[in-house]
Structure 1
Amino acid sequence: MAGTTASDTTILDVNQALYDALSGYIDVNPDTGVSIIFDLPAADSPPTEPTLSVFLYEIHEDLQMRTAQMRVPTYHADTKTSTIAPGWVNVCCNYIITYWDIAQTATSSPGSPGGAPDNTSIKVMNQVVNALINNRQLADMPGAYTRMIPPKDELNTLGNFWQALGNKPRLSLSLSVTVPVFLTDASDSAPAVQSTEVDMSQQQTGRF
């Protein structure tokens, strides 16, 4: 039986790059800070610590970008051989980002109650915004870029989204990340061109 084909890990790398960008602005100290998870808290199991949820809910090919590259042959002069290099396709990863305080409430730290203009939820989401707009290009991921977008229809309205989680609506942010996902390298080769020949002739045309 043939082994499985290795998959491109770009989408997994996006999660790590987002974590690095967010943790640069948010205190993620395990004892006093905010936990960043790439999932949604369970409706019947409220977070026991302040939690930032970065939930990937949709992946699709970005058909609006025309910069994808199909597989193309590459000539190697030293060995006089050609290989067919893998191309890449732009893939769009859509996230919804929310902050969940302890016991799914909007309460904040002492001196900054949940109803205050500078409550913890607003502070954390402000840090999220700053992290994202200052990391349009994700670190160590050439061709990957982020943008904040309006809520998408795929969520079937945010009201239904929150109702499904059994929780009241809260401040959320929709994020779209476009990344180039490389096609599988099948190690195909093409015969090298050994010589070229051009035959040219001149034709005379008469005047009328």
Structure 2
Amino acid sequence: MFADLDKSLKNILANEMPKDYFSPRNTLLSIYFCMPLDEDIKEKPALNLFLYDVRENLELRSSKWSVERYKNQDGTNPVSVKKPPPTMVDCSYFITSWFAKTSDDFPQQEHQLLGEVMKVLLRFPEIPEQYLHGSLKELDLPVRAACLRPLPTQSLGEFWQAMGGKPKAMLNYTVTIPVPIEDREVEFPLVLESTFHLQQQNSPGG
């Protein structure tokens, strides 16, 4: 599922970024999903989307089950399947931009690219269906997204210290994906009709 999310994000960037970076015949920008280390970004210019945190979104937790109806191939013995709601999972990325350090203005180039990415992601509070890939598309459920969520300054400092102490400008981007709980389905027969028996009651003294 995480690989499908990576491909979905790559789809939205490749199709919505300015054509200076992507064109039908030529890809001028590489996209990576690795740790934000210069030695791991082989081809530049590049964007790197590092998945750094995965956790349940407790605010979106629901206890409401859904009921779906199914029929056999011959149309007989219809049944209903009761399914629990999906678990809503926040997948958070650090997005960084990378240019070769061949000119003095490479920091400005990185900032320009990061700004274009920000404008694209802010346009989509949900990832459009045409960009969803694999299992995310098959779910037929909205995939929400939020750009520029705040992070504690201390957490950022600790992160870059772990990366070698070379901080860069970054975007904090969170996508909330629905994860179905498939092993808790409950199947039961579907009630199609009800039968009522009416009995005449004798009047008193009759």
Alignment TM-score, normalising by the size of structure 2: 0.70
Match of 2:12 among 7, 21, 28: 21
Matching residue within 161, 167, 170 for 1:169: 167
Which runs of no fewer than 5 residues in structure 2 stay unpaired?
133-140, 199-206
Matching residue's letter, 1:58: D
Distance 1:53 1:139, change over 3 A: same
Distance 1:157 1:188, change over 3 A: closer
- The aligned runs of 1:7-156 (5 Å cut-off) are 9=1, 11-24=2-15, 25=17, 27-28=21-22, 33-42=28-37, 47-67=42-62, 69-70=64-65, 72-76=66-70, 78-86=75-83, 87-102=85-100, 105=101, 113-114=105-106, 119-140=108-129, 141=132, 142-153=141-152
- Quote how far apart the aligned CAs of 1:97 are: 0.6
Gaps of 5+ in 1: 1-8, 201-208
Q: Which structure dedicates a bigger proportion of its chain to helix?
A: 2
Aligned length: 180
Distance 1:139 1:198, change over 3 A: same
Mark the CA change 1:32 to 1:75 in structure 2 (over 3 Å): closer, same or farther.
closer
The whole-number CA distance in structure 1 between the counterparts of 2:185 and 2:149 is 41
- The CA RMSD over aligned residues, in Å, is 3.3
Q: 1:45: Cα distance to partner?
A: 5.0
**Could you tell which deviates more after superposition, 170-179 or 139-148?**
139-148
1:95-133 deviations in whole A, cap 9, x for unaligned? 11111222xx4x65xxx8246xxx211111011101101
Q: TM-score, normalised by structure 1?
A: 0.69
Q: Which segments of structure 1 move beyond 6 Å, counting only runs of 4 or more?
A: 29-32
Identity %: 25
* Alpha-carbon contact 2:46-2:97 (below 8 Å) kept: yes
Q: CA deviation at 1:134?
A: 1.8
Q: Which residue of 1 aligns with 2:137?
A: none
Q: Which structure 2 residues correspond to residues 169-208 of structure 1 after superposition, within 5 A?
A: 169-184=167-182, 189-193=187-191, 195-196=193-194
- SS of 1:58 mapped into structure 2: strand
Q: 1:66 to 1:199 in 2, by over 3 A?
A: farther
Cα gap change, 1:197 to 1:152, in 2 (>3 Å): farther
- How many Å apart are 1:19 and its aligned residue? 0.7
* Residue of structure 2 in register with 1:204 after alignment: none
